[in-house]
Amino acid sequence: MDLRYFSENATRGARISARMRRKGFTPCGYKIWSRSEEAYVKRHYPDLERIQRCVPHRTSRAIQAKAFKLGVTRKCKPWTAAKVLLLRKLWVRGSRDDISRAFPEYSWGRLRAKASSLRLRRPSQQLPAIHPLIEEIRARGRKLDLTLTDIDHLTKNRSYFTSSRLKTNPHIEPLLRAIEALDGHIEIVWR
């Protein structure tokens, strides 16, 4: 590879930069930031409405990007191993308030992003089943910290309990296997 290629590109880049400064626009037609606009962003950054009133031709996203380039945005605090471990413990069982109190320096969005990168999942809120017997089995599974998929695996059903919320006429065989697997028994009481 020839070094002339790199020197030609550097020369071309310098010419384009000089033309942009001279004309005041980028090759795509965007207006270049002036020093007074940059100073205004540095002085008033978190207040986007105030900056947009002063610089009406800039979008809020452009202002945020410029603030980031100027270094006036909040600095991201690095994640330590202890903080990651605490997040792993709290994410599954803790409430949103508990997690926010444990990490006051991070926003909820940043906590969610970190949990997503760690592939952590919060338990979903289960809607109650229509049939009371299925709801009893689901409640017993929650008490034993079993998911519906775990109950299906224990009872050797494919996805009976995973998709059981709307069943109005359940089959007796999967219910009997689930009651037995969850250490229960059926009792008939006559009046």
Average pLDDT, the chain: 82
pTM, two decimal places:
0.40
Q: Which two tokens stand for residue 71?
A: 């270094």
Q: What is the pLDDT of residue 35?
A: 83
Mean pLDDT of 158-170: 75
Encode pLDDT of 44-55 as tens digits. 877 888 888 888
Q: Which two tokens stand for residue 41?
A: 């962003």
Q: What is the pLDDT of residue 132?
A: 82
Encode pLDDT of 115-151 as tens digits. 889 888 877 666 777 788 888 888 888 888 888 788 8
Q: Where do the domains of the chain lie?
A: 10-70, 81-117, 132-181
**Which residues make Cβ contacts (< 8 Å) with residue 25, sequence separation at least 6?**
31, 32
Encode pLDDT of 79-110 as tens digits. 889 998 998 888 888 888 999 899 888 888 88
Confidence grade of residue 165 (pLDDT, cut at 50, 70, 90): low
As a whole number of angstroms, the distance between CA 133 and CA 28 comes to 66
Confidence grade of residue 171 (pLDDT, cut at 50, 70, 90): confident
Tokens 């229509």 correspond to 130
